[in-house]
Amino acid sequence: MITNRIENMVKSITLITWLFMFSVLSITSCNYKPGNSSVEGKMIGVKIYDHNKDFESLINDWKDMGINTVFTSLQLFSDKKFRTITRENEITSFIILPIFYNREALQENPDLYAITKNGKQAKDDWVTFVCPSREEYRKCIIDSIKTIIKELDPDGISLDFIRYFVFWEKIYPDRTFESLPNTCFDSTCINKFQEETKINIPDSLKTENNIYEWIKANCLYEWVEWKCELITSLIAEISKEAKSLKPGILINVHAVPWRHDDFNGAIKTVAGQNFSEISDYVDYLSPMTYAHMVKREPSWIHSVTNDIYDQVSCKIIPSIQVNKAYLDTELTLEEFRESLQKALAPPSDGVVFWSWEQLSNEPAKKQVVKDLIIYK
Ligand SMILES: [Zn+2]
């Protein structure tokens, strides 16, 4: 049931409209700063995917808690009333844009699937991934984002699933590097890799696994650099196009919450996210530090923030989970309080709660937010 709820939340941000046109109006906004000096100037954000139409009470709730930023689904931000009320109340708005997670595109054209080292489609439960090297798909994404910015005029865009396939939400500390999936081994990627690096993979290697093993033994560094560049270059292109349309637009990237050395460097080798290079093109990196979900202590949130901070030139805004997900064990009030404290600790520049749907149903946790943001 929890998985279904998460899937529904994610699905709501991958509308069919993502790849098509839609019509709407515009907003501009600026930062609302809470009075507490220890969090003054910091982003206090929530991720929200859907809502009933009572936006007045929603905004009142947020202002009571010092929430000054919203990361919203395209679906919700397409609602003119929502855009208007967030603007009027000086809530900075980011639209969450899933990039290589696109169920509709994969259903329509399964040939777009990324391929794993085992020769399978990149699919694990609800997590499915498009191959990141398809030029037509990348162009379509950029065109869609330009349309969204022109028509909806958000303060920022928040790039999600801009990485390689891995269901990191279920990767626990005891996992080995080899047990993780690795992509993409379809012919488009393998051909491009050879063409662009001038490395020749022997024709005698017939299976994806054989190719993976050969790459690992012969040119792992080049392979990982090439993978990461495919991701960074798309972020760079999106950033350039977005800023040419709206110079002050803010760019955030959702980061897989793995430190530099976790799982033998899997943040680059598996996920293809090179934070050091990505940070040249974005205003924020937001690691999804859902500690409870991945069986880590709240202190791990600070550790991930620190680790990424050391690699980058942009601001770090850790995102924390509000309630249990995937696991049956409860996320207690004390664990939530400690997680929020760790998330706000310098060098963090704020926090993003995942999600408002969960926080709104937890009065005691809402009070914790007030205590640490407003009354501290
Ligand atoms: Zn591929």
Distance (Å, rounded) from C-alpha 238 to C-alpha 234? 6
Distance of CA 20 from the midpoint of ligand 1 (Å): 23
Helix (H, G, I), strand (E, B) or coil at 221: helix
Q: Which of 331, 340, 341 is nearest to 362 (CA)?
A: 331
Residues whose CB falls within 8 Å of the CB of residue 175, separated by 6 or more in sequence, listed in order: 263
User: What whole-number percentage of the chain has pLDDT above 90?
Assistant: 88
Instruction: Tell me if the pTM is above 0.95.
Output: no
Distance of CA 230 from the midpoint of ligand 1 (Å): 10
* Per-residue CA distances from 199 to 116, 214, 276 (Å): 20, 12, 25
Distance of CA 250 from the midpoint of ligand 1 (Å): 29
* Residue 1 scores a pLDDT above 70: no
Distance of CA 147 from the midpoint of ligand 1 (Å): 26
Distance of CA 293 from the midpoint of ligand 1 (Å): 29
Distance of CA 239 from the midpoint of ligand 1 (Å): 23
Question: How confident is the model over 293-313, as pLDDT tens digits?
Answer: 999 999 999 999 999 999 999
Res 5: pLDDT = 52
Distance of CA 27 from the midpoint of ligand 1 (Å): 37
Distance of CA 224 from the midpoint of ligand 1 (Å): 14
Distance of CA 188 from the midpoint of ligand 1 (Å): 5
Distance of CA 139 from the midpoint of ligand 1 (Å): 15
Distance of CA 163 from the midpoint of ligand 1 (Å): 12
Res 16: pLDDT = 42
The fourth-level CATH superfamily of domain 2-181+228-373 is: Glycosidases (3.20.20.80)
Distance (Å, rounded) from C-alpha 67 to C-alpha 82? 15
* Residue 11 scores a pLDDT above 60: no
Distance of CA 187 from the midpoint of ligand 1 (Å): 7
Give the containing element (helix H, strand E) for 95. Answer: strand 92-98
Distance of CA 113 from the midpoint of ligand 1 (Å): 8
Mean pLDDT calculated for residue range 166-191: 98
Tokens 């110079």 belong to 247
Question: How confident is the model over 281-296, as pLDDT tens digits?
Answer: 999 999 999 999 999 9
Distance of CA 183 from the midpoint of ligand 1 (Å): 7
Mean pLDDT calculated for residue range 268-279: 98
Question: How confident is the model over 68-93, as pLDDT tens digits?
Answer: 999 999 999 999 999 999 999 999 99
* Residue 25 scores a pLDDT above 50: no
Mean pLDDT calculated for residue range 245-252: 98
